[in-house]
Amino acid sequence: MMRLAALALLLPMAAMAQSQDWLPKGQAELQLLDKVTARVSVLRAPVGQATQFGTLTVKVAACNARPPDEVPDAAAFLEVSDSRRAAGFQEVFRGWMFANAPGVSMLEHPVYDLRVLDCK
C-alpha cells in the first residue's frame, strides 16, 4: 500500500518534468531595434553561425522551443559582440534570452535593442 502511495506521488512529478522539456531548433528569430534610426528588423540567425546587424555580430549557440502542446516560448543562448569596441572588449552580451521574459536577461547597448522572438 505504501509503495502505491509513493508511486502515485512520483507519477505526476515525472509528467511535470517531461512537460518542461525544451526542443532544440536550428534557427533563432530575433528582433533588433536601431535606437538611432528607429528601424526595427527581424533577423533569422542559424545556430552556430555568426550573423551581422549594423556593428553587432550575433552568434546563436543554442535555440530551444517548447513542445507544440505547451505554452509557446523560446530561449536562445547568444554571444553578441560590437565591432566599434576596442579589441578584447568587443563582447557586449553572452547568455540566455527568453522570448516570454525579455527583461530577465537583456542586451544593454546604447544603440541597439535585441530580443528573441522564436526558435524554428
Q: Tens of pLDDT along 43-86?
A: 999 999 999 999 999 999 999 999 989 999 999 999 999 998 88
Quick one: pLDDT at residue 102? Answer: 83
The residue whose grid cell reads 523560446 is 74
Please give the radius of gyration of the chain, using alpha carbons only, rounded to the nearest integer. 19
pLDDT tens digits along 87-101: 888 999 999 999 998
CA–CA separation, 4 and 85 (whole Å):
62
SS3 state at 79: strand
**pTM for this prediction:** 0.78
For the chain, the average pLDDT equals 86
pLDDT category at 20 given cuts 50, 70, 90 is low
Q: Is the pLDDT of residue 5 over 80?
A: no
